[in-house]
Structure 1
Amino acid sequence: MPAYNQVLRRLALRPGLVYGSSRSRTSGAAAEVVPLATPGAAWRARVPAGTTICFADGSRGAVQVPLWAEMPDFIIRKKDGVAAYQLASVVDDLRLGTTVIVRGLDLLPSTAAQLWLAAQLPETRAFSAPRLRFCHHALLTDPIGQKLSKSTQAAPDAAWLSSAAGPAVVYRAVARLLGLPPAASESLTTLKQAWG
């Protein structure tokens, strides 16, 4: 939390970058701009019109995301005062020394939002290529076509890593998505070596 809050405070000091909003994320109504100190206000990052983020993706090649259209003025601090996903991901990945990020294609706009957000401060600018490599894969679905994710796992499916197969099932899925040879799925080490 202290690391998140430090970055939030620094972003709030940038003129015109962050504003308080009382709008519900799902309301679709225009944001009511309020002071950042307003109790219950979310903090939003003001994305300028026309902002497009370009980066190299390991499975898609050169990618361009019109951030201003796909994620305009996204939330960086929730109404409860806790850092939102976009900011927390940047801070965590920098803190942990993450160098490869593999995500579902549905999170392509989030990657763009995080790259744009990280570029706003000197201490977070390292969240960028070539230090980071990204790979956005097609979504994995269950037999009836519903997206598989941490948030949608049913109780019996939630223990992939503790199953008899251990983490190998995850390594095989990642290797398949990245188009790597079967031998690359033996362990996290061989998977990392195969992808570089």
Structure 2
Amino acid sequence: MKITKTRLAPTPSGYLHIGNVLSFLITASLAKKHAAKILLRIDDLDQKRVRMEYIQDIFDTLDFLEIPYDEGPKSSKEFIQDYSQLNRLPIYKEYINELKEKKLVFTCNCSRKTLLKKHPKRFYTGTCLQRDLPWSKNQTALRLITNLTQTVNINHYTENQQVHQLPNAMDFFVIQKKDTYPSYQLASLVDDIYFDVDFIVRGTDLWDSTLAQVYLSNQLLRQQTFDQTVFYHHQLYKEEGKKLSKSNGSYSIRQMIKAGVKKEGIYRTIGHYLNLPQETTNLEEFSSQFLLLMNQSSKSGIVNSSPPFKAD
């Protein structure tokens, strides 16, 4: 398995929490194993939620925990000037125009209320598919014309390539939002192509996004390699069975530091949660123990895309 580059891809919509750090540490450990480079890619297209203190918090957290990366901004100023997704808007537009030219998208003006009326989980049912709304209509999104019977091949890190289908939740998924910014699915895919990322580590909550992005890549002529990308999906850090959220400040690293928690304490907390064989107090120890645990799991016949976690 040839892996050359992975990425850390936080969103500055709140202060980073211990669940984000868990993903960072797993990414750094697997990158070390394969001598792969790490890109810091900050996803800031959700401009209504972006704040400068959240951007700075990303750099502060990585520095505090001594998590290195090889490519990307080293400061908030450098990020804004050179690496913000806003700088790549013309590139996203090129991909969207290709989908328009191939007649693979349609305009939709459905509200959240309309979606809820059509489906209890707000799954899109194709309401605007045949309405032929103009591209230029205000407050409209662009949705991809999808085929749920069409399969996608996913390269799992610890398994052979597997064939999957889009879930119902991703039928006709959005590729351009009503604010005219590209959706997460399109922007994330384009960024990974742009930066030559070939290994993506993310939580199991983004499994549907993986399927959507690989599906989308198969519709594009301008990409040639994304379908070879390797994916590793790890379990989420949960407390009392609940996923942590940046929106409510859950277990933020910033709060922990203010409360007097040291770097070593954070590493111990995550190490205990993963049931690592020995206590860890820094990245080198974490990587060693995490990779050892993965190797033991593989030898015992437990082969999956996630490390063994404590039961919720």
Same fold (TM over 0.5): yes
1:139 maps onto 2:256 in alignment: no
Q: For structure 2, which runs of at least 5 residues remain unmatched after alignment? A: 1-88, 119-125, 295-312
Q: Which runs of 4+ in 1 moved over 6 A?
A: 160-163, 179-183
- Work out whether residues 160 and 169 of structure 1, in 8 Å CA contact, stay in contact via their aligned partners in 2: no
Q: Which has the higher contact order (CA 8 A, sep 6+)?
A: 2
- Work out whether residues 65 and 109 of structure 1, in 8 Å CA contact, stay in contact via their aligned partners in 2: no
The two structures, once aligned, show a CA RMSD in angstroms of 3.8
- Work out whether residues 148 and 165 of structure 2, in 8 Å CA contact, stay in contact via their aligned partners in 1: no
Q: In the alignment, residue 243 of structure 2 is paired with which amino acid?
A: K
Corresponding position of 1:109: 208
- The percentage of counterpart residues that share the same residue type is 28
SS of the residue corresponding to residue 98 of structure 1 reads coil
- How far is 1:59 from its partner? 4.7
1:8 maps onto 2:96 in alignment: yes
SS of the residue corresponding to residue 238 of structure 2 reads coil
Map 1:56-71; keep pairs closer than 5 Å: 56-59=155-158, 62-67=161-166, 69-71=168-170
Q: In the alignment, residue 101 of structure 2 is paired with which amino acid?
A: L
- C-alpha distance in structure 2 between counterparts of 1:52 and 1:182, whole Å: 43
Corresponding position of 1:123: 222
- Work out whether residues 167 and 208 of structure 2, in 8 Å CA contact, stay in contact via their aligned partners in 1: no
Corresponding position of 1:165: 263
TM-score (norm 1): 0.75
Q: For structure 1, which runs of at least 5 residues remain unmatched after alignment? A: none
Map 1:10-159; keep pairs closer than 5 Å: 10-15=98-103, 17-25=104-112, 27-28=114-115, 29=118, 30-32=126-128, 33=131, 34-59=133-158, 62-67=161-166, 69-129=168-228, 132-142=229-239, 144-151=240-247, 153-154=249-250, 157-159=252-254
- How far is 1:106 from its partner? 1.9
TM-score (norm 2): 0.50
Q: In the alignment, residue 22 of structure 1 is paired with which amino acid?
A: N
- How far is 1:111 from its partner? 0.5
Q: In the alignment, residue 23 of structure 1 is paired with which amino acid?
A: C
Q: In the alignment, residue 2 of structure 1 is paired with which amino acid?
A: P
SS of the residue corresponding to residue 171 of structure 2 reads coil
- How far is 1:70 from its partner? 3.7
- How far is 1:124 from its partner? 2.3
SS of the residue corresponding to residue 114 of structure 1 reads helix
Structure 1 residues 165, 180: closer, same or farther in 2, change over 3 A? Answer: same
- How far is 1:128 from its partner? 1.8
- C-alpha distance in structure 2 between counterparts of 1:134 and 1:180, whole Å: 25
Aligned length: 187
Larger radius of gyration: 2
